[in-house]
Amino acid sequence: MRKACAFLIVCLTLGSATALADCRVHRGEHVVLYSTTDDPSVLMWDSRARLREYHSASFDVAQAMLPHAVLVSPGTHGDVVTCLPGYVVSPLFASPDDAVGVTLSSGPLKGTVRWVLGSDVRPRHKN
């Protein structure tokens, strides 16, 4: 009986950890890109590694990385390609943020596939 209880506890713990680590958005979802109200434009990175490095880098290193990013206007539409939960860690974040791969579906960079923070992605409401 003890082994069965221990097994059940382990299964429940692992199941809840996986649920907590899930992304807010998933492959195929239509989204809108919008950062903070102070600066709503969104930086899109050419790789998820650079996305993560930028947010953990010093100011000088972060500035040197900017040629690997494009700035898109707030409200740009996109489609989620993939998401990595809790991939981006920064001393400025209270908790790790998701890395989301997005294909742009509007704007001058339509068709471009890049990486953004999960906090810069909003669900797109149907018209």
In a domain, residue 13? The reply is no
16 in any annotated domain: no
pTM (2 d.p.) = 0.80
Domain that holds residue 38: 23-123
Is residue 4, in this structure, part of any structural domain at all?
A: no
Domain assignment present for 65: yes
Question: How much is the pLDDT for 111?
Answer: 97
Kindly tell me if the per-residue pLDDT of 103 is higher than 90.
yes
Domain count within the chain: 1
| Amino acid, res. 49 | A
Six token digits for residue 117: 């923070």
Q: How far is CA 100 from CA 10, 12, 104, 115, in A?
A: 30, 27, 12, 5
For residues 17 and 102, what is the distance between their CA atoms, to the nearest angstrom? 25
Q: Is residue 20 left, alpha or beta, with left meaning phi > 0 and alpha meaning psi from -120 to 50? A: alpha
Residues near 22 by beta carbon (within 8 Å), at least 6 away in sequence: 85
Tell whether 55 is covered by a domain: yes
The per-residue pLDDT for 1 is 55
Q: Which has the minimum average pLDDT: 6-20, 33-47, 64-78, 96-110?
A: 6-20
Q: Report the distance separating Cα 19 and Cα 110, nearest Å.
A: 33
* Residue 38 placed within a domain: yes
* Residue 8 falls inside a structural domain: no
